[in-house]
Amino acid sequence: MTDVTGAPVDALHTLFRSEQGGHEQVVLCQDRASGLKAVIAIHSTALGPALGGTRFHAYASEEEAVADALNLSRGMSYKNAMAGLGHGGGKAVIIGDSAQFEGARRTELLLAYGRAVASLGGRYVTACDVGTYVADMDVVARECRWTTGRSPENGGAGDSSVLTAFGVFQGMRASARHQWGDPSLRGRTVGIAGVGKVGRLLVEHLLQDGAQVVITDVREESVTRVTDQYPQVAVVSDNDALILTAGMDIYAPCALGGALNDESVPVLTAAVVCGAANNQLAHPGVEKDLADRGILYAPDYVVNAGGVIQVADELNGFDFDRCHAKAAKIFDTTLAIFARAKEDGIPPAAAADRIAEHKMAEARRP
């Protein structure tokens, strides 16, 4: 059995015995009447209640779903720490094809999921992720007050993709500054794998900054939506073709995780990797492979933190300008990580982990 990155799955080993484990709590949820099967993973509450989105995905197995929840929740601990939020890391996955649950059937499943989250008494705060949307969080909130990412009509901030894309753009600017001495992306070629909720908004930022953009997506309608609006955007058939694109300066994985692996890294043409997807590194050691090839990697959980900054702010009364200003600081945070990596002689991913782990360790001290 393998997870979404193709690696062997042993969820119990990950949870109890690996360096990627150490989770405080993992909850398996089921409601047969609605068809709900879900996994809620709380990695850490050292900095505050765990905060992270809900992924609705058709996993090949329950084991794969657990493995994904473990990986994603751990990443949220690091993301929230680096974003300076008073939250630990958590994540939930609902097992199933999101597109197959519509209307009343979807509502009943989401209400059951809301009850499951509410049973944790605030240890985990949920929000949107792949396969879930603002309207879904409005439903979940009917059963669970620890829900964010809701619509403005229901007291929320709306779509968090806006600030996620903005934060990734700031990470790209910082990467360009470090790699080429100039934060401008004018004249640079950026390849985006995945132009869904975040990727398509990233396209707009890049074009406005003068970059040339190449895209791919497994969904033809997502590609068409972008090219209809921006006919100057180039399209390639798939991610394999994208990573081989001649003259590409920046590669932006913006779909599911595991894009940087033993097959893609050796042939990647880009000098910089900076994208919105979570868990881009397929396994420990890939960050060194990138560094050995001279490819600068902007840690995913640092640059894609704009969305979690937004949903966290919603819990205290949302202010877009305040969130936008905080997301803009991803530029400075990314540069600081590159500087720490150079100082310590380690890849940027390892430098970011060290900083985040120090923050969590300090918070645990009496």
The one catalytic residue in 79, 91, 197, 326 is 91
Give CA–CA dist 338/87, Å, rounded.
24
Give CA–CA dist 124/90, Å, rounded.
6
Distance of CA 329 to the CA centre of its chain: 17
Which residue type does 350 have? A
Give the DSSP H or E segment for 234: strand 234-235
Residues 6+ apart with CB under 8 A from 226: 195, 200, 203, 215, 233
CA neighbor of 359 nearest in space, from 46, 23, 41: 46
CA neighbor of 304 nearest in space, from 266, 253, 234: 253
Q: Burial of 270 by CB count in 10 Å (0-12 exposed, 13-18 middle, 19+ buried)?
A: buried
Residue 91: active-site member: yes
Residues 6+ apart with CB under 8 A from 178: 296, 335, 338
Catalytic machinery residues? 91
